[in-house]
Amino acid sequence: MTAHNLASHAAHKLRARREIVEMLKYFGFLALFLTEVLLHSSSDTRFMLGRLVRTQLLEKEFQIPNSSVYKSYLTVDTVDEFHEFLVGPFWFSVFAAGSFDADTSYPEGPLYGARGFLGGANQILGTIRIGQLRVQAQPCAGVIPTANLTQPYCFPDYASDVESKEPFGLTRTYYPSEHESEPTFISVSNRAYPGPTFTVELHNHESDECDVGTKHGCEVYEELEALRSTKFFDAATRAIFVDLSTYSYNADAITVVRLFLEQTMGGGLLATKNVVSFRPYPTTTVSDRIYIAVEVALYLVVLGQAYTALTNLRYDGLSYYRGRGSLTNDVNIVLFFVVAALKMLMFVSLPTSFPADTYINLRTSANYDYLSQSVNSLNCFLSILKVFKYLSFLPTFSILTSTVSSALHELLGLFIMIAILLFGGSMAFTLAFGTSLAHYSVLLHSFYSLMSIFTLKFDVEEIFEVNRVLGPLFFISFVALIVLVIMHMLIACFANAYLEQKESHLLAQTMHASSMGHEIANHLLYHVLFRIPYLGPRVFQPLYQRLAAANSSSSDMAPALQTSTHEFSSSSAMKLVHKPTHPSSAHATGQIVPVNASALEEMNQIDAKNQDVLHLIEELEDAHTALVKDIDRVLEQLAQHKIRHGPEVDRLGNQLDALKKMEDEFEACIASLAAS
């Protein structure tokens, strides 16, 4: 074996063993991560707590006075309807036991509902806060002169520079209240709002003298009615907040509820909700302690991955990111530390006391927990996605991953075309249908709506009803471009890339080319599976040998059949060509053709030379096998000492790669000299 082949073989073996070690580490990390996720998400408690809020506060209907129209919270459109909601289903569910058994006598004992509970098992923490944000009146600057306007003042969208903190109210004056800093809330119109500036706090239960039927002595109900009579919500109001927090005894979880309504410049309210359930102190049960132990072990593994990545980055520099999966691996590690930081902030921001007569701000902690879960969902996606990197040594996965990699350069241009078409279509649909359809009212909503065409969910009838000319025209044009052209081009890109990779794979099999996947599979067979005590040499190895013998016999039969068929066809052709035309020459077919003695001697010499060549090939193969075994033994010793000599092993692999490149250049120089 030449030095070139020796260096190539050694580098190949070393990379294969390095891949196996990384793969085993990754599967250990994945087992810990999946265990942590399953322990955290195995229960549907959070969903059920959110469902209680939805069914009792959002879905209960109320009748608008002097009409037969029924509304619910999410369909509230005016300030009057919101007042009816507050004194209707909201007061009944929260303050009149309407979310449990509606028994306002409240009998003593833990088996019955009590005041200040939602759903019978969720205690309301602190007070309930109703608040708002206001804007300053601005002189109107429109096409109609202000002298002809009944109301010459305009109220813009909310912004910090136009926020109003001046006292207001009818028969009662409301002043700005002091409150802690809160996370920014994003509304359905994608506007950002801080916490409320003007607030009214309600007790979490009615007094003992409250008569639910006549509403006599019901202080909270009277306070809700006073919001209407004192004009707490007026034209300057831009955002309305209803905030409360509950604690579930059974689930040991806190639910933070926000009912949010946005009053737009065009008038009317847009209602939405935000419900977040979380466990602030998950340390009470045995499963909680197991979860913490698994999480600690997981982050120790992540720290080890971070140290390895930093070490490789220090040795290789930015060229480290040329390796497949290096960037996504480092992003995944960074996101794990982001999750840890968010969880720490969640614990730090928790309140230390829970007084009953003060609003308790748990929204900050709930927001940090929500963000940590959101980032952890990205970790789940990236961690599972890395499985394909370590399974690429299997032929099926190798072809699939190579298909995606080879199609990327074509897909990049195609995705740019799709983005241009979606952007242009979003602008066109916004201008044509934005004044009539909510999901085309702004550019971003139009973009999301047009994306639904890829899932074959596109409401054609509504755009036809809004505009009978542009509706059909835009629909046919957009569908023709996206579905009939772009989608078929997308399929064609993947089909071409798949065929190329399939042909490369078949060619490698025909040439018996050794790949990284082949080396990894051999190492797992001979150094892992076959070395399992008792089962390896007595079960797995004989089974593998029988399967290999069966495959080799079946593969040998195919060439034999092809050879016999070829010989049969050749002999038949010869018979057809040399068929005698004269009857007297028919006996000549059975005669033996005489052979010259000199020809026999030459044939014997050629046969002897062939035998010498075969013996030489056998000797070379034996020497090659012995050398490969020696290399395997040396590499195994290096792998056993990898913990102590990890950098040296990595440098050895790099040196072998450099030696291989240098030998290639040397052989190219020799070839050029020989040619000259």
Q: How far apart are CA 496 and CA 483, in angstroms?
A: 19
Same domain, 238 and 196: yes
Residue 543, in any domain of the structure: no
Q: What is the pLDDT of residue 314?
A: 86
Total domains present in the chain? 4
Q: What is the pLDDT of residue 586?
A: 40
Q: Which residue has the higher pLDDT, 672 or 103?
A: 103
pLDDT tens per residue, range 229-251: 999 999 999 999 999 999 998 88
Q: What is the pLDDT of residue 670?
A: 59
| Among 191-205, 568-582, 651-665, the range of highest mean pLDDT | 191-205
- Tell me the β-bridge partners of 271: 261
Report how far apart, in Å, the C-alpha atoms of 68 and of each of 64, 90, 283, 425 are.
Answer: 7, 20, 52, 41
Q: Which residue has the higher pLDDT, 223 or 16?
A: 223
For residues 147-154, average pLDDT: 75
Q: What is the pLDDT of residue 199?
A: 96
Q: How far apart are CA 259 and CA 128, in angstroms?
A: 11
Residue 17, in any domain of the structure: no
For residue 415 the two structure tokens come to 């995705």
Report how far apart, in Å, the C-alpha atoms of 56 and of each of 213, 312, 645 are.
Answer: 20, 56, 64
Same domain, 216 and 328: no
Is the pLDDT score of 509 beyond 80? no
Find out whether 134 and 236 touch, Cβ atoms under 8 Å.
Answer: yes
Same domain, 82 and 212: yes
Give the domain-ending residue among 216, 243, 278. Answer: 278
Q: What is the pLDDT of residue 580?
A: 44
Angle CA 401–404–405, to nearest 5: 85
For residue 12 the two structure tokens come to 């190949």
Q: Which residue has the higher pLDDT, 648 or 503?
A: 503
Give the domain-ending residue among 278, 309, 335. Answer: 278
Q: Which amino acid is at 161?
A: D
Residue 559, in any domain of the structure: no
Same domain, 220 and 311: no
Q: How far apart are CA 517 and CA 138, in angstroms?
A: 71
Same domain, 337 and 229: no
For residues 437-445, average pLDDT: 86
For the ranges 343-357, 550-564, 567-581, 632-646, which has the lowest average pLDDT?
A: 567-581
Whether the model clears a pTM of 0.75, i.e. scores above it, the answer is no
Q: What is the pLDDT of residue 334?
A: 93
Residue 38, in any domain of the structure: no
Q: What is the pLDDT of residue 7?
A: 53
Place of tokens 């040329």: 322
- Tell me the β-bridge partners of 20: none
CA 625 to chain centre: 47
Residue 592, in any domain of the structure: no
Q: What is the pLDDT of residue 598?
A: 67
The dihedral built from the CA positions of residue 564, 565, 566 and 568, taken in this order, carries a sign that is positive
Q: What is the pLDDT of residue 588?
A: 41
For the ranges 193-207, 273-287, 468-482, 519-533, which has the lowest average pLDDT?
A: 519-533
Same domain, 239 and 259: yes
Same domain, 297 and 159: no
Is the pLDDT score of 535 beyond 80? no
pLDDT band at 582 (very low <50, low <70, confident <90, very high): very low
For residues 541-548, average pLDDT: 76
Is the pLDDT score of 273 beyond 90? yes
For residues 253-274, average pLDDT: 92
Percentage above 90 pLDDT, the chain: 30
pLDDT band at 277 (very low <50, low <70, confident <90, very high): very high
- Full DSSP string of 124-136: EEEEEEEEEEEB-
Is the pLDDT score of 668 beyond 70? no
pLDDT band at 575 (very low <50, low <70, confident <90, very high): very low
Q: What is the pLDDT of residue 285?
A: 78
Report how far apart, in Å, the C-alpha atoms of 241 and of each of 146, 151, 155, 472, 534 are.
Answer: 33, 27, 19, 42, 70
Place of tokens 């580490």: 25
Is the pLDDT score of 589 beyond 70? no
Q: How far apart are CA 271 and CA 264, in angstroms?
A: 11
pLDDT band at 658 (very low <50, low <70, confident <90, very high): low
Q: What is the pLDDT of residue 555?
A: 53
Q: What is the pLDDT of residue 574?
A: 38
Is the pLDDT score of 554 beyond 50? yes
pLDDT tens per residue, range 52-73: 988 999 999 998 887 788 899 9
- Structural domain range at position 131: 44-278
Is the pLDDT score of 455 beyond 60? yes
pLDDT tens per residue, range 480-498: 788 778 888 888 888 888 8
Residue 35, in any domain of the structure: no
pLDDT band at 150 (very low <50, low <70, confident <90, very high): confident
Percentage above 70 pLDDT, the chain: 75
Q: What is the pLDDT of residue 9?
A: 55
Residue 647, in any domain of the structure: yes
Q: What is the pLDDT of residue 296?
A: 92
Same domain, 399 and 367: no
pLDDT tens per residue, range 333-363: 999 999 999 999 999 999 988 999 999 999 9
Same domain, 428 and 523: yes
Q: What is the pLDDT of residue 339?
A: 94
Same domain, 310 and 400: no
Same domain, 299 and 403: no
Give the domain-ending residue among 373, 388, 403. Answer: 388
Same domain, 377 and 414: no
Q: What is the pLDDT of residue 348?
A: 92
Q: Which amino acid is at 466?
A: V
Is the pLDDT score of 506 beyond 80? no
Q: What is the pLDDT of residue 87?
A: 95
Report how far apart, in Å, the C-alpha atoms of 620 and of each of 3, 374, 502, 615 are.
Answer: 15, 60, 34, 9
Residue 569, in any domain of the structure: no
pLDDT band at 644 (very low <50, low <70, confident <90, very high): low
For the ranges 102-111, 132-141, 257-266, 479-488, which has the lowest average pLDDT?
A: 479-488
Q: What is the pLDDT of residue 587?
A: 40
Is the pLDDT score of 579 beyond 60? no
Query: Mean pLDDT in the chain?
Result: 80
For residues 285-309, average pLDDT: 89
